[in-house]
Amino acid sequence: MTRVLIIGATSAIAAACARRWATDGAQFMLVGRDAGKIDAVARDLSVRGASATATFVLDALDTDRHGDMLAAAVAALGTIDVALIAHGTLPNQQACQNDVPQTLREFASNATSVIALVTLLASHLERQRHGALAVITSVAGDRGRPSNYVYGSAKAAVSTFCEGLRPRLFKAGVSLTDIRPGFVNTPMTAGLPLPALLVAQPDAVAARIVTGIARRRDVLYVPAFWALILLVVRLLPRTIFKRLSL
């Protein structure tokens, strides 16, 4: 039986991952900021085969309560086999450009709160001497682009943090997977003018994520073709890149 902690468990991608783990009888600690939504996810997982499901209400920006959350997870699960961090927000770039407090709030939501949780969970799993830590970042973090550089820079900060942390955890028998989704059909992206051919469905994304975590992948582009797309984007010379409106 796999014991799974999911932070941001009501997100479409996280919930889709949880459904896959539930069919194998996993035990869950689900963490989210909306009690009603997280209870609904818990009931759904129980119907799908989860052996047990506990919940914890947390606003990830409230870093003072991260320790309480981890204590509750350990009490409910005993051992944490998989910890998935999936919370985040998609800011309006134009609004952020003219509002310093909003920019800092979005950076806290997508970077500093995530780094705080990664730090806490990494130390716990290191002491545990086994387990898998997975963090949903974004392909947006591979290179800053004019259309979303507040979001992209936050995700890049998390990816760089994970890159430095990974060797430490590897020596303790713990894997760290940086999950970088492209466009996914979720409530977060609803209404955005996205190219239909590049938009993936949450269930397909979840299948790749669950498999990638099990295989202890370091970096996981979802879907896989984003690795090639971002390779091209990263290789564009700055003299060209600054003239584009990506």
119: left (phi over 0), alpha (psi -120 to 50) or beta: alpha
Retrieve residue 71's tokens. Answer: 């204590």
Q: Is the per-residue pLDDT at 196 higher than 90?
A: no
Q: Is the per-residue pLDDT at 189 higher than 90?
A: no
Q: Which residues contact residue 34 at a Cβ distance below 8 angstroms, ignoring those fewer than 6 apart?
A: 10, 57
Q: Is the CB of residue 66 less than 8 Å from the CB of residue 112?
A: no
Domain that holds residue 54: 3-241
Residue 222's nearest CA partner among 139, 161, 141, 151 is 139
246 is a domain residue: no
Reported as a single tens digit per residue, the pLDDT across 57-85 is 999 999 999 999 999 999 999 999 999 99
Q: pTM for the whole thing? A: 0.95
Reported as a single tens digit per residue, the pLDDT across 123-158 is 999 999 999 999 999 999 999 999 999 999 999 999
DSSP assignment of the chain equals --EEEEETTTSHHHHHHHHHHHTTT-EEEEEES-HHHHHHHHHHHHHHT-SEEEEEE--TT-GGGHHHHHHHHHHHHSS-SEEEE-------HHHHHT-HHHHHHHHIIIIIHHHHHHHHHHHHHHHHT-EEEEEE--GGGGS--TTSHHHHHHHHHHHHHHHHHHHHHHTTTEEEEEEEE-SB-SGGGTT----GGGPBPHHHHHHHHHHHHHTT-SEEEESTTHHHHHHHHHHS-HHHHTT---
Q: Is the CB of residue 3 less than 8 Å from the CB of residue 76?
A: no
13 is a domain residue: yes
Reported as a single tens digit per residue, the pLDDT across 81-111 is 999 999 999 999 999 999 999 999 999 999 9
56, 151, 161, 221: the active-site residue: 151
195 is a domain residue: yes
| Number of domains forming the structure of the chain | 1
182 is a domain residue: yes
For residue 122, name the pLDDT band (cuts at 50, 70, 90).
very high
155 alpha carbon, distance to own chain's centre: 10
Length of the chain: 246
Count of CB atoms situated within 10 Å of the CB of 67? 10
Res 222: pLDDT = 97
Across all residues in the chain, what is the average pLDDT? 96
Q: Is 221 a catalytic site residue? A: no
The CATH number linked to 203 is 3.40.50.720
Place of tokens 């020596």: 171
